Amino acid sequence: MEWLFKLLIGLALGALAGWAAGKIMKSKGTLLRNIVLGIVGGALGGWLGGLIGIGGGWVMSIILAIAGACLIIFLWRLLFEKK
């Protein structure tokens, strides 16, 4: 049952990161798209943070999730949005 709690917290954190990254990146996407990209970016940020040895604690997790979400939004723009 603990894994379910951790999963729900991770999804909520990713959604928060997606919303914040959408504001930071001035994304024109929908709130739902930003939340989904935030969940993916949060996972990416946590994974990259673990690789380089930073992490631990709620504050660092939030920072890494927002940074990962910003990276995902940036990559989304490069790949799918035309100028």
What is the model's pLDDT at position 12?
Answer: 84
User: What residues contact 70, with CB distance under 8 A and at least 6 apart?
Assistant: 21, 24, 25, 41
Q: What is the pTM of this model?
A: 0.81
**Is residue 76 included in any domain, yes or no?**
yes
DSSP 29: S
- How confident is the model at residue 83, as a pLDDT? 64
Tell me what pLDDT residue 24 has: 93
**Is 13 part of a structural domain of the chain?**
no
Block mean pLDDT (10 aa), the chain, length 83:
84 85 86 82 82 81 87 88 72
Number of domains in the chain: 1
65 is in which domain, residue-wise? 25-83
78 falls within a domain: yes
Q: Is residue 12 part of a domain?
A: no
In a domain, 18, yes or no: no
